Structure 1
């Protein structure tokens, strides 16, 4: 662990919200999760969608008419000047490796155009410097595996399978995560940056039959190490089932998972989970459903508190009771709320806050 941060079942969100106004989104965030607020991603803006938001400055990635229904993002290394662009990229990478202070104005900076919520968030934190201080602040970055399997060439081949593209994207994402950690640290608060990796749900399937677990863990570790070097805590979010052993044995500090739908998959690895917790790492317990409207409608903070108790008891052992487990947990939605209606998104935020409060009042 690289920051003096105690999770203690505090509530935190995943990132996306179904709104068009960042100020309005921040009001909801600070109301629901004042202890660990985060900056909002509003995917209704094409530049704030998962691939484009962190693509700028990586020369192998091309964007075509993103604002139109026919728009797309792909990789292309066939241009005549690509070698010169590649050389410039790695020169910039080496420069910020040698002097991290140069990250601030480097190609790895995320522009306001693509992350308006990040800039308004830090401005809000500065303005409230003398008010109630959060325990930490949270940011997020698209994970390298998700980016590399999401961008394809014009023939439909994923960037992961091109060595040149893979190396460039991993290093680009790692430095963007480091830049964001430094940027959020201007708040004077502990910084958490989640690596969002929904594509990891496909590991082990026929689509990724040639992808090795070791290669995936190496990519994740490279981004986590960049966050650590910048002074932050590295989390990872996967919104479905995956090869959990890869993550439990990685260099991440916080594992965010969908406990509502996939708790039993993680609980099957009880020894690995306790080994992960033994090193001081944190579970971000995604116990508030977001994937199915019927689940959101039928659940309440009381029912979800009871569900947590039922599930968490399966992880209890003589050396780690329910309060001890909670002290190494965050309470979160199972995923972002960007695809939900506003009414359901607000209910998810309210239940996240209430479940956290219920558990802390009863056990901590």
Structure 2
């Protein structure tokens, strides 16, 4: 049934039960796995991507807690060789199974307890509401490689060996998570979160550590970007789950839309103009059955405070009309629709998350009343 209403993942509350109540109220038919970065460091985006690296002994922490991949550390070369074998990178091939990612020491079983409880609630049919879809999310390798550095302060994206290892590790994480959730009786979506794609297609020169959503230049090659995105899509898709890609800023959307992703998620509040520049790629994406996830609920405090369901639906209708005016079939836009917030609320105030999920719940109620015919725009 479309449109689907779901959300990004991170929430500012400090308990699983609070998060569960928010998700159940806002996304009753398509719950997402909650992540709680305020109380669980491992739920922070970069920490998700680095969890296997830390377990492999490849991470050193600076005094402020920031992670560094330090080649000069004792035993680093041996640890790197072993991790490369595990990830299937290099001549040695895989010498340990994917269960290395899913046993009791893994990110998902120990480091992120909300994942375990979310999965268990669903397995035991203890999740409230009438579930039709299940969504989870994890850090994308481009973001990890772009924002994590080595001991010299260089991005891992600049080192071919470490860059490939970031990709291989992330693909295994995504494959394990998708396979794990596919045990559930509902279809599964896995979103790969790639705020590091911000600025792709723009001139480099801005600070690469700037906040997601700003238009920094991107200094990675298009070939690397396309291969990273497609590898992650394939890792999820081969399990039977839908592979989604989320970027909360402006980017070269044609790269993502043409990647084979089943779902493309964007910030329709602040960056619709960027998507509108790529309507030919949008048309191709929808023609092959892709789902476009419109981030219609704001994350910016002032916009969120002023938001109403009627106002958001009106803005969505105007944006759809603008896209249709550029040749994208309107029936496909409305039929292949997911509604979400623009981004996560993990670093926002609790009251802001509550307001956002109240709006999502109102969307869900309208869809339910429409009997599956969608929301009247």
TM-score between the two structures when normalised by the length of structure 2 = 0.86
Output one character per residue of 1:153-194: Cα deviation in whole Å (capped at 9) or x when no partner.
Answer: 233211110112101111001100111111111212211111
Report the Cα offset of residue 127 of structure 1.
2.2
Change (3 A) 1:348 1:63: farther
Report the Cα offset of residue 361 of structure 1.
4.9
Q: 2:13 aligns with which of 9, 19, 39?
A: 19
Report the Cα offset of residue 105 of structure 1.
4.1
Output one character per residue of 1:65-105: Cα deviation in whole Å (capped at 9) or x when no partner.
Answer: 7xx8x211121233343332233223323499799774664
Change (3 A) 1:202 1:158: same
Q: 2:29 aligns with which of 28, 32, 35?
A: 35
Report the Cα offset of residue 318 of structure 1.
11
Which is worse superposed, 84-93 or 11-20?
Answer: 84-93
SS for the counterpart of 1:316 is helix
Report the Cα offset of residue 355 of structure 1.
3.2
Aligned to 2:51: 56
The answer to whether the Cα contact below 8 Å between 2:136 and 2:191 also exists between their aligned partners in 1 is yes
SS for the counterpart of 1:112 is helix
Change (3 A) 1:218 1:361: closer
**Does 1:144 find its partner at 2:153?**
no
Instruction: Please give the residue correspondences for 1:1-364 in structure 2 after superposition, counting only pairs within 5 Å.
Output: 8-44=2-38, 45-58=40-53, 59=56, 61-64=58-61, 70-94=64-88, 102=99, 105=102, 109-128=106-125, 133-203=130-200, 204=202, 205-206=204-205, 207=208, 210-290=219-299, 292-316=300-324, 322-358=330-366, 361-363=374-376
SS for the counterpart of 1:20 is coil
Output one character per residue of 1:180-222: Cα deviation in whole Å (capped at 9) or x when no partner.
Answer: 1111112122111111011111323325554112211111111
Output one character per residue of 1:116-171: Cα deviation in whole Å (capped at 9) or x when no partner.
Answer: 11111011112217975522211111011110112112332111101121011110
Change (3 A) 1:188 1:91: farther
Aligned to 2:212: none
Change (3 A) 1:124 1:227: same
Which is worse superposed, 107-116 or 209-218?
Answer: 107-116
Change (3 A) 1:101 1:153: closer
TM-score between the two structures when normalised by the length of structure 1 = 0.88
Give the CA RMSD over aligned residues: 2.7
Distance in 1 (alpha carbons) for counterparts of 2:327 and 2:276? 17
Change (3 A) 1:221 1:100: farther
Report the Cα offset of residue 283 of structure 1.
0.4
Change (3 A) 1:174 1:131: same
The answer to whether the Cα contact below 8 Å between 1:110 and 1:176 also exists between their aligned partners in 2 is no
Q: Which runs of 5+ in 1 are unaligned?
A: 1-5
The answer to whether the Cα contact below 8 Å between 2:142 and 2:194 also exists between their aligned partners in 1 is yes
Change (3 A) 1:312 1:89: same
Which is worse superposed, 74-83 or 180-189?
Answer: 74-83
Q: Which runs of 5+ in 2 are unaligned?
A: 209-216, 368-372
Which is worse superposed, 331-340 or 347-356?
Answer: 347-356
Which is worse superposed, 77-86 or 132-141?
Answer: 77-86
Change (3 A) 1:164 1:101: closer
Report the Cα offset of residue 319 of structure 1.
8.9
Distance in 2 (alpha carbons) for counterparts of 1:53 and 1:209? 22
Distance in 2 (alpha carbons) for counterparts of 1:344 and 1:132? 23
Distance in 2 (alpha carbons) for counterparts of 1:240 and 1:231? 28
